[in-house]
Structure 1
């Protein structure tokens, strides 16, 4: 009786297969590509189905179920490193996963290293990346980490500071805009001192990040001081 042509009918069924170990990896891989895809109907139905299912599982089984899902997500990302067909949707999936609230227990769990490990994979994925649209997706998910106090927030802010001086002006402008928006929502949860937060946001909004790198770098360095993060130093080329 199921309408197999209807995403709204099939995805609520598909997501239940996550609970069956032989299917977990492949079903999650398909869901990540669907949720991180470009087709609006597919994204809407797949994300709604997965996050509704996860919230129900968390409510009935606690943190155990979300830990399993995080482990599988990390393995998928690790297995497909530098494979844009998987990692670009992964960036978009992770961004939506943070927004869904399903990771709240993991963020609060001091015994979980998922957040730190996934951040490391994101850094590795964007290192040397020349695809500006992939970088933008990476920037969006990097900004999610500023709401997590401690080392994770510092690492994310340093990485975003590096991108504020990217050779492409579009990347610099996009980084400043997204960071501003994220601080507007989650600034109070970040490592940035409350008394410096307004100044940080003012610098982000008042600076023309499309000026040359030479012009914006001193401003970026001052911004790092305000945020309480180290100033990025370019790596020396090997001779």
Structure 2
């Protein structure tokens, strides 16, 4: 691979010095390696897998790896800000990685952290020249899928992405705001608190989201409300925010959650097993003692039928 990289990247550096760098570089040192790894993003053959690897590094938990990989990625994006074709290609690759790993927690959580870093640093400002840019719309749709998760870490990361998408103009901004307002009434109190906190910080930056005359009222309501209260209480405050933002109030739909269905099925199975056990015991009591103590005494067919037709195995 090193030879292939050498042949493909002669346009970036002198071929002789590059060959020497590849062989002498300490690839285990993040302070040295990520500068060169990020250059592979300029090669179509390695673009996807290089960005996939950087995703795990930038969104990881090892401080040194996160710092050096993040800086290298930001430097690369800074160099292509004036190249709309390269930036669009980068965005398309990001979306491909997100779609391919939407339900892979080893990738999607680091991906959300990395995407938040890029949005925070204004790496996609060029997309603001077009309302409802497809990149923003696709990111929103994919994050909406993750919003159904019950992983608090993932939900908090999605909230950060929603707040980061507020920098873009058009209908996508209203859709993002609608998602945030729904999260203010999430089942988990910790998610409601996190949403309110991040929305507050977002409005300090993007104060054009709401009428300037209402901004202070919105900030006060977000900061003073105890979003850990019961849902009926916080829903009143959330609906007030919907009115101020000009967003339709979400409707409360009464339906069984997946957990409720699983619980109901579990109860049915346990009840059925309990009924079968009682019928077996009753049938055993009605049968005469077996003459051979080594042979287990099983209930007769007549005794089992007397139990109301419970679904058990007939041994006689």
RMSD of the TM alignment (CA)?
Answer: 1.7
Instruction: Give the counterpart of 1:170 among 172, 184, 190.
Output: 190
Instruction: Give the counterpart of 1:22 among 40, 45, 48.
Output: 45
Question: Judging changes above 3 Å, is the alpha-carbon distance between structure 1 residues 112 and 218 closer, same or farther for their aligned structure 2 residues?
Answer: closer
Matches within 5 A, 1:189-200: 190=209, 192-200=210-218
Greater Cα shift, 72-81 or 144-153? 144-153
Aligned to 1:51: 74
Determine the C-alpha separation between the residues in 2 that align with 1:79 and 1:36: 17
Determine the C-alpha separation between the residues in 1 that align with 2:78 and 2:183: 34
Aligned to 2:227: 209
Instruction: Give the counterpart of 2:203 among 183, 199, 223.
Output: 183
1:221 maps onto 2:221 in alignment:
no
Aligned to 1:106: 127
Alignment size in residue pairs: 234
Matches within 5 A, 1:63-74: 63-74=84-95
After TM superposition, give the deviation of residue 111 of structure 1 in Å: 8.0
Determine the C-alpha separation between the residues in 1 that align with 2:68 and 2:41: 16
Greater RCO structure (CA 8 Å; 6+ sep): 1
Determine the C-alpha separation between the residues in 2 that align with 1:147 and 1:231: 23
Determine the C-alpha separation between the residues in 2 that align with 1:205 and 1:111: 30
CA contact (8 A) 1:107 1:115 kept: no
Aligned to 1:144: 164
In our comparison, the structure showing a higher alpha carbon Rg is 2
Determine the C-alpha separation between the residues in 1 that align with 2:212 and 2:50: 43
- What residue ranges of structure 1 are gaps of 5+ in the alignment? none
1:10 maps onto 2:33 in alignment:
yes
Instruction: Give the counterpart of 1:154 among 156, 174, 178.
Output: 174
Determine the C-alpha separation between the residues in 2 that align with 1:148 and 1:196: 21
CA contact (8 A) 1:163 1:172 kept: yes
Determine the C-alpha separation between the residues in 2 that align with 1:234 and 1:126: 17
CA contact (8 A) 1:146 1:187 kept: no
CA contact (8 A) 1:142 1:156 kept: yes
Greater Cα shift, 105-114 or 145-154? 105-114
- What residue ranges of structure 2 are gaps of 5+ in the alignment? 1-23, 257-316
